């Protein structure tokens, strides 16, 4: 998938990232690394747009989760397929989900360990539970590629490892920003390191550890 070609990415006059070229092969698990503010979210947004422009089905775990707080975990998960249906179907889903849809949503809630919380309003859940709802919504959506912006930052390390495995099994290709380097090394087939407005490293996860650490040095 040819995603970016010498692209300058940013928000105003001065780009956050300059001259980014990116191809991602089907089957790759790409992890973006870099300090806070390095441009990981900026790159993920551009990648997602490029994938959508190419007609790919993309599942997204945004950094802020983008859940509806007043609705239950189950209904938030069901929202992962809103754009597969018309307004009438979606309204009916909101009021009383069809059995098959409910069962499918419960299956992904089970994958993230949230069956007991299915009917609780998201606003009553912990940070890690909310994040798992956002992941369950992406699993429910499914697709060619998962784009995730720190999708495992609020869960404990053992759960993060398990959920990384769930992501690996559910999506043929994934592009994630992760701040936990060990988690990244266990998950990624390819690491992309951002620093000083550029892609500073791009390669297999057996890159020497000090090169990875250097991404985080000032
Ligand atoms: N909507 C926006 N408008 C203007 N500038 C923005 C916007 N979003 C991000 N930026 C700026 O772009 C730069 C990169 O931000 P970005 O969110 O991509 O970094 P990040 O690596 O994802 O950081 P973090 O790890 O803290 O999430 C930062 O300097 C940030 O202030």
At 2-59, the pLDDT tens digits run 999 999 999 988 899 999 999 999 999 999 999 999 999 999 999 999 999 999 999 9
**Distance from Cα 16 to the centre of ligand 1, integer Å:** 8
Given this model, what pLDDT does residue 82 score? 87
Distance CA 137, CA 124 (A): 17
Structure tokens at 144: 């060619």
Atom nearest to 38 CA in ligand 1? 21
Q: Please give the model's pTM, rounded to 2 decimal places.
A: 0.94
Whether residue 20 has its Cβ less than 6 Å from ligand 1: no
Domain 26-57+143-218 classification at class level: alpha beta
Whether residue 14 has its Cβ less than 6 Å from ligand 1: no
**Assembly ipTM:** 0.96
Strands 29-33 and 17-23: unpaired
Given this model, what pLDDT does residue 218 score? 83
Strand order in the sheet with 29-33: 58-61, 145-149, 173-177, 29-33, 190-195, 198-203
CB 130 within 8 A of CB 154: yes
Span 59-92, pLDDT tens digits: 999 999 999 999 999 999 999 998 888 999 888 8
Q: Would you list the domain boundaries of the chain?
A: 26-57+143-218, 71-141
Helices (H), the chain: 40-53, 73-78, 87-95, 99-111, 127-141, 157-170, 181-187, 209-214
């Amino acid at each position: 998938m040819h995603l970016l070609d010498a692209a300058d990415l940013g928000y105003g006059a001065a780009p956050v990232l300059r001259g980014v070229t990116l191809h991602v092969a089907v089957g790759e698990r790409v992890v973006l690394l870099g300090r806070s503010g390095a441009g990981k979210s900026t790159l993920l947004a551009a990648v997602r747009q490029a994938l959508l422009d190419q007609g790919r089905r993309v599942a997204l775990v945004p950094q802020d989760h983008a859940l509806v707080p007043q609705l239950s975990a189950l209904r938030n998960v069901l929202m992962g397929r809103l754009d597969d249906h018309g307004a009438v179907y979606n309204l009916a889903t909101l009021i009383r989900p069809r059995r098959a849809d409910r069962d499918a949503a419960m299956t992904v809630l089970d994958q993230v360990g949230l069956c007991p919380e299915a009917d609780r309003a998201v606003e009553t859940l912990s940070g890690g539970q909310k994040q798992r709802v956002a992941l369950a919504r992406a699993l429910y959506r499914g697709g060619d590629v998962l784009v995730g912006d720190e999708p495992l930052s609020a869960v404990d390390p053992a759960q993060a490892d398990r959920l990384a495995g769930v992501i690996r099994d559910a999506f043929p290709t994934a592009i994630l920003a992760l701040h936990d380097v060990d988690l990244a090394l266990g998950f990624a087939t390819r690491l992309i390191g951002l620093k000083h407005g550029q892609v500073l490293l791009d390669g297999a996860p057996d890159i020497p550890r000090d090169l990875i650490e250097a991404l985080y040095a000032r």
